[in-house]
Structure 1
Amino acid sequence: MVQEVAPSTAVKLPTPSRWVWAAVPAALLACLAGLALSGAAAPTVIADAGAVVRWGRPLVTVAWQLAAAGTVGGLGVLLFVLPRTSPAWSTAVRVVSIAGPLWAVLLVVDLFFGYANVAGRQIGGANFGDELAFYLTEISSGRAALVAAILAAVLSLITVAVSGYGTALLSAVGVLVVLAPIATTGHAAGAANHELGMTGLYLHILFAALWVGGLAVLALAARRLDTGLTAAASRYSQLALWCFIGVGVSGIANAWIRLGSLAGFATGYGVLLLVKIAGFVLLGGMGYVHRERTIPALTPTDGAGTPRAFWRLVGVEVVVMAAVMGVASALSDTQPPIPQEPQEGLSPAAELSQNPVPPPPTLATWFTQWRADLLFGGVAVLMVVVYLRWVVRLRRRGDSWPLSRTISWVIGAIGFGYITCGGAAVYGRLMFSAHMLQHMTLVMVLPILLTLGAPVTLALRALPHRKDGSRGPREWLLKLVHSRAGIFFSHPVVAAVNFAGSMIVFYYTPLFHLALTTHIGHIGMVVHFSLAGYLFVNVLIGVDPGPKRPAYPLRLVLLFATMAFHAFFGIAIMMMNSLLAADYFGALGLPWGVDALADQVSGGQITWGIGELPSLSIAIALAASWIRSDARTARRLDRKADRDHDADLAAYNAMLAQMATEEERDDHH
């Protein structure tokens, strides 16, 4: 319980906001020192852009990253830490409303420095504007930077209007969109493992901004937290722990791509990376001290506790964080040991799929060929870890959870990890049959296992309930389940149409080609069809709250309709005389001598075959659930009939007793 202190006798706190302002020059100085140490700002022999560009561009990068941290961190605090009624809420809103537009402006400034750096010429001069326009419209890196600046400008309009949870959530979605093109402009955009690199950079920026910005916003709002400091600090500590893990894992992926081996640490890039790692470890140690010492001291039992130690450590932590961001900016402008430029001389298959060509598919290679996918691989691991953590939490407080549900969920999560990172993912970018195996598993097989795991029900039982008006994971989950969008997409008819109809839209439009040739398109495909399959199966046999499930006969009608659709869809593919995504599959030139049209026929057969077996499983599960429901209804009716019979018998006996009493009274008279 937090000890309330009257305003007149409140302990005078240090001014952690001063540390936030001190963090800005600390980041800039750390960036300059990193550039000097690595030599990244040294003049180039050919096409030197000048000292202003060489030293200024990394400083501009630091500036927009700090603004991004204020935006992302402020939104994180609003969404997960502070209650709407807290006096500190308005401070966090003010930070977001300033940091968002500043981020957009700095990204526009970065366009000029970015082109000058790429072209090796100074800003201004003859034809600079025309050349810049060509760079921003015709060169891929320039287009990505321009798109990021435009999206950030749109986001800034939303951030200045943040007033409640709804607008804060809309701004958070906008942040996720803005970071996508930014992640494509890093070193890894042209590397052989560019998909891993882009995902790693995206997650690295996101988690780092949330971690740094969240703590900075708390420091700026220190004097307005009052008695809510303990709750805010504890919630941010949990958020920071996840950010620490996210930054660490994504950082390892990025370092592995760029270093290549331990010998890379001997280069200027490697030295800067070691400095960044040291700062990261130091920040982890500070976070540990917070969790073990300073936060528990905020809830004194003898009146001796003080938040002074907490804020003092926060101030130092903010400055260290900013300095690490400065080093990271210098690191991004330093040439890594492994060249990150687009590779030349690739085969058509490697160039189109943007991945190395694996060996010919065999039963063994389907289980030995893997492609590191930081996003979906991480999601699969989290699905297992978080679910088991919730189960353990229930067990510790004496509640039970069916073992069958746990086994079903874990198998489904492992299957999701394999199907998105294993042989199906490797060969799915090169063979239509492998792609359909991946697709049908995502949309038909795995949703059955995941639905039977009842994750929403488990989460609502295991996650803590907040009573101060703030929103944690449990509150946001309930909001999602009962939101208009959640109700709409989980409606039985909508779920069935989305489950079946989206396949037509996907495969017979350019969306299929987009999913094959772009990383963002591939992510969208996996996310959409996984969710579509889960929502549909949950309508039929799920136990989680959300959709208003129809009667069992109507559920069978929906199931049989989708079964028929999948059968006709598979047959239609088998009967086609032309290739789907012909510009892609027809131009691969695989060294295994694959007949693309024959392979497409095999894909249609897989669509038909895999669609039938899971549908049969769902039908059996639905029938079993129907029988159990009828049995429960029969038991309720029997109990009601017994109660009614007992009531009638009691009334009859009472009537007989009344008649006997009246007869005795008549005989007496």
Structure 2
Amino acid sequence: MPRSLRVLAPALLIATAFAALFAGLGIGGAAAERALADPGALVRFGMPLARTLVNLAMAGLIGSVVMTVWALASERREARVAMDVAAGSAAVLTVASAVTLLLTFVDVSGLAFSPDATFGAALAQFVTEVELGQLWLWELLLAAVTTVLAFAIRDRRLTLLVLLAALASALPLAQQGHAAGASGHGQAVNSLLVHLIGAAVWLGGLLTLVFLSRTVDRRRLSVLTSRYSTLALLAFVGVAASGVVSAWLRVGTLDALFGTGYGRLVLLKTAALVVLGVFGAFQRTRLIPRIAEARGGDRAFAWFVLAELAVMGVASGIAGALGRTATPVALEPARDQGDRISPAEWLTGDPLPPELTPVSYLTSWKFDLAWTLVCVFGLALYIAGVVRLARRGDRWPVGRTIAWSLGMLLLFYTTNGALNAYEQYLFSTHMLAHMMLTMLIPLVLVLGAPITLALRATEKRSDGSWGGREWILWAVQTPYSKIITHPAVAAVVFSGSLWLFYFTPIARWAAQEHLGHQWMIIHFLISGYLFCLSMIGIDPVPYRFPYPLRLVTLFATMASHAFFGVTLMTGDSLMLADWYGAMGRSWGATPLEDQRTGGGIAWGIGELPTLALALIVAVQWSRSDAKEQKRKDRAADRSGDAELAAYNEMLAQTAQRDRKAAGQNSRSV
């Protein structure tokens, strides 16, 4: 492998990115001097340049850590090299974030650079009181923390902390891409987050292979490239889907797509994405087998990497230009656009939907790309596991596949359908979504036994790296896993979360903030899954209650839910009155009546899955007794009823001793 590749490849990436950036600024009009409050050429060109460097550094960070966790052997030098790439990328991300923060402040405030106290005080106010400044401050702090972790950690398991910190650093960037309070904020943030992480894994993983090319031999490089190719395929799907959603939210019409500078940049980025898709197909079908060849494999890899990184640089540069180009669809919060808006639009950023009718449950949709991809990937990977078992002659119960598929479909509907469209406006709809997430969906997902399928379908690695099988085995055996899967802990979290969520400020956070809403979905889904797993799960856990105690636990949680529902149904005070009570609805029940309906859902509809759980526990108990009896019968058949014969012999001996004792007593009398 050419030694110069490790220098030439990153240099080519940066050069093409900056060239495409400056060309894109011209196409989109962001390079032109502003008529009012122009910040100067330094800011006009320096901000997108620094932001592009932020994106490239984040790609190097996330991609290298993902490769370390998924593809590399921790005891080999390859893992140390990858973590060095992560540490260096995190350091660059920290510096680039600081520069971008400063340039953003100058651009927004209109103040010139100055060392005096006035400039410093204004900067402090910007990062503490203005949302954009706060997000850049969070980005800077997360990047700094990640840098320290990346330099300090080399243990395989602790690398997960670096990965979590790296992924968290993408969240402030995603939130900047769409103003809070603007229409479609939640969908835009999730789409941009998927886009950022997908592009980072794609680009950063390839850069990591470049730096590893001199560390490993051809055969090892072929294996690592194959593993990277799988990640790149998933990333391509996420980037392509999120790019379409993000572009449509910002472009709005076909006329704007072809008739504006922003639209033309979107078309150029789409063309680059198509070219990269062709590169990916070539990599999977032609390049990987050639890498391990004795001759020509290293040269083919080098030329391929250079070409692909050049196209990735163009796409990154265009993305940086898009961030500075005016969008055809206004991204300002509705309350700041100067128009007369409804109370619902003031609170949520979106217009109040029409009245909820029975038909609306089938026709109303509010799509969320992130959760759509979760469902699509979850279903696709499960079916792929079933197919792999079938190809090697193993059987997998059809009922489990049906259960998992039903769970994924219900999750898709809950996070994309009418429940997602109306839960911000109606407490009853919100409670119905809550019951789906915490009770019904986990119930059917647990019956799918995904952990058991994954352990049977994934191959064991022998090269020192950890794949899906190794990470799953480690995860289910950790002390933390033993705690959270314990039936008592799972039951307390399952029932206690209901009270803690609705009677603390957490409910307001989940209603008003996008991050809070996503946390709510994840928390209730996981808490419900762990509870169902501890009660009826097929997947292995360290400990489960005996069947009688499981029924007792289920009825205790049912009572807790019922009491919560009755509390809402009989209460006279409105929860989150300045939210659900301030939507300005002219249709449907009053907010207090709607809240009481939500209490009825928590009590009535919410108990149905619990009753189903109790029924399943009873059936499993019966089957367990039947299996135990069959086991005893088979043991008796093998031994010729030796146990029964021994028992009868014992009874006979006892009876004989009793007769002898009775005879002796009669003679003595």
Question: TM-score over 0.5 for the alignment?
Answer: yes
Residue pair 2:385, 2:457 contacting (<8 A) in 1 also: yes
Q: Distance in 1 between matches of 2:262 and 2:180?
A: 18
- The equivalent position to 2:468 in structure 1, one of 465, 469, 473, is 473
Which sits farther off after the overlay, 47-56 or 481-490?
A: 481-490
Q: Quick one: which amino acid aligns to residue 474 of structure 1? A: R
Q: Distance in 2 between matches of 1:260 and 1:649?
A: 81
- The equivalent position to 1:294 in structure 2, one of 287, 290, 300, is 287
RMSD, matched Cα: 1.9
Q: Distance in 1 between matches of 2:220 and 2:319?
A: 34
Match of 2:249 in 1: 257
* 1:500 corresponds to 2:495: yes
Task: Quickly say closer, same or farther: Cα 1:648–1:579, change in 2 above 3 A.
Answer: closer
Q: Quick one: which amino acid aligns to residue 313 of structure 2? A: A
Task: Quickly say closer, same or farther: Cα 1:633–1:116, change in 2 above 3 A.
Answer: same
Residue 153 of structure 1: CA displacement?
A: 1.8
TM-score (norm 2): 0.92
Match of 1:607 in 2: 602
Q: Quick one: which amino acid aligns to residue 69 of structure 1? A: A
Q: Distance in 2 between matches of 1:518 and 1:467?
A: 45
Match of 1:47 in 2: 37
1:594-642 deviation per Cα after TM superposition (whole angstroms, max 9, x unaligned): 3111111111111100232111111111111111111111111122233
Q: Distance in 2 between matches of 1:354 and 1:547?
A: 46
* 1:624 corresponds to 2:619: yes
* 1:557 corresponds to 2:552: yes
Match of 2:523 in 1: 528
- The residue matched to 1:241 in structure 2 has which SS? helix
Task: Quickly say closer, same or farther: Cα 1:43–1:121, change in 2 above 3 A.
Answer: farther
Q: Distance in 1 between matches of 2:389 and 2:162?
A: 34
Q: Distance in 1 between matches of 2:296 and 2:265?
A: 40
Q: Distance in 2 between matches of 1:424 and 1:547?
A: 36
* 1:277 corresponds to 2:274: no
Match of 1:663 in 2: none
* 1:191 corresponds to 2:208: no
Which sits farther off after the overlay, 228-237 or 170-179?
A: 170-179
1:103-149 deviation per Cα after TM superposition (whole angstroms, max 9, x unaligned): 11211111111112223443337632222222212211211221221
Q: Give unpaired runs (5+ residues) of structure 2.
A: 647-669
Residue 643 of structure 1: CA displacement?
A: 3.0
Residue pair 1:49, 1:116 contacting (<8 A) in 2 also: yes
Q: Quick one: which amino acid aligns to residue 130 of structure 1? A: A
- The residue matched to 2:158 in structure 1 has which SS? helix
1:347-370 deviation per Cα after TM superposition (whole angstroms, max 9, x unaligned): 111222333211111101121111
- The equivalent position to 1:587 in structure 2, one of 582, 586, 597, is 582
Residue pair 1:188, 1:340 contacting (<8 A) in 2 also: yes
Match of 1:4 in 2: none
Residue pair 2:62, 2:167 contacting (<8 A) in 1 also: no
Q: Quick one: which amino acid aligns to residue 371 of structure 2? A: F
Residue pair 1:290, 1:310 contacting (<8 A) in 2 also: no
Residue 236 of structure 1: CA displacement?
A: 0.4
Match of 1:237 in 2: 229
* 1:73 corresponds to 2:74: no
* 1:491 corresponds to 2:482: no
Q: Distance in 1 between matches of 2:4 and 2:125?
A: 52
Where do residues 25-104 of structure 1 align in structure 2 (5 Å cutoff)? Answer: 25-104=15-94
Residue 12 of structure 1: CA displacement?
A: 6.6
Q: Distance in 1 between matches of 2:305 and 2:79?
A: 19
Match of 2:260 in 1: 267
Residue 383 of structure 1: CA displacement?
A: 2.2
Task: Quickly say closer, same or farther: Cα 1:573–1:12, change in 2 above 3 A.
Answer: closer
1:276-303 deviation per Cα after TM superposition (whole angstroms, max 9, x unaligned): 1111111111111111111011344xx5
Residue pair 1:358, 1:369 contacting (<8 A) in 2 also: no
TM-score (norm 1): 0.92
Q: Quick one: which amino acid aligns to residue 46 of structure 2? A: G
Q: Distance in 2 between matches of 1:502 and 1:24?
A: 48
1:338-392 deviation per Cα after TM superposition (whole angstroms, max 9, x unaligned): 1211224321112223332111111011211110111112212222222222212
- The residue matched to 1:166 in structure 2 has which SS? coil
Q: Quick one: which amino acid aligns to residue 53 of structure 1? A: V
1:427-459 deviation per Cα after TM superposition (whole angstroms, max 9, x unaligned): 211111111111111111111111111111111
Where do residues 635-646 of structure 1 align in structure 2 (5 Å cutoff)? Answer: 635-645=630-640
Residue pair 2:636, 2:643 contacting (<8 A) in 1 also: no
Q: Distance in 2 between matches of 1:16 and 1:98?
A: 14
Which sits farther off after the overlay, 492-501 or 565-574?
A: 565-574
Q: Quick one: which amino acid aligns to residue 243 of structure 1? A: A
Residue pair 1:48, 1:121 contacting (<8 A) in 2 also: no
Residue 187 of structure 1: CA displacement?
A: 4.1
Q: Quick one: which amino acid aligns to residue 227 of structure 2? A: R
Q: Quick one: which amino acid aligns to residue 102 of structure 2? A: F
Which sits farther off after the overlay, 436-445 or 138-147?
A: 138-147
Q: Distance in 2 between matches of 1:419 and 1:12?
A: 52
Task: Quickly say closer, same or farther: Cα 1:144–1:15, change in 2 above 3 A.
Answer: closer
Residue pair 1:237, 1:291 contacting (<8 A) in 2 also: yes
- The equivalent position to 1:19 in structure 2, one of 9, 25, 41, is 9
- The residue matched to 2:176 in structure 1 has which SS? coil
Match of 2:132 in 1: 141
Residue 647 of structure 1: CA displacement?
A: 6.8
Residue 196 of structure 1: CA displacement?
A: 1.0
Residue 37 of structure 1: CA displacement?
A: 2.4
Residue pair 2:12, 2:306 contacting (<8 A) in 1 also: no
Residue pair 2:181, 2:348 contacting (<8 A) in 1 also: no
Q: Distance in 2 between matches of 1:366 and 1:547?
A: 41
Match of 1:106 in 2: 96
Which sits farther off after the overlay, 31-40 or 233-242?
A: 31-40
Q: Quick one: which amino acid aligns to residue 307 of structure 2? A: V
Residue pair 1:81, 1:472 contacting (<8 A) in 2 also: yes
- The equivalent position to 1:383 in structure 2, one of 378, 382, 386, is 378
Q: Quick one: which amino acid aligns to residue 52 of structure 1? A: L
Residue 190 of structure 1: CA displacement?
A: 5.3
* 1:415 corresponds to 2:415: no
Task: Quickly say closer, same or farther: Cα 1:587–1:224, change in 2 above 3 A.
Answer: same
Q: Quick one: which amino acid aligns to residue 269 of structure 2? A: K
* Percent identical residues: 43
Q: How many residues align?
A: 639
Match of 1:360 in 2: 355
- The residue matched to 2:14 in structure 1 has which SS? helix
Q: Distance in 2 between matches of 1:306 and 1:92?
A: 22
Task: Quickly say closer, same or farther: Cα 1:19–1:431, change in 2 above 3 A.
Answer: same
Q: Distance in 2 between matches of 1:190 and 1:114?
A: 21
Residue pair 1:72, 1:210 contacting (<8 A) in 2 also: yes
Q: Distance in 2 between matches of 1:199 and 1:649?
A: 67
Q: Distance in 1 between matches of 2:558 and 2:478?
A: 29
Q: Distance in 2 between matches of 1:649 and 1:411?
A: 48
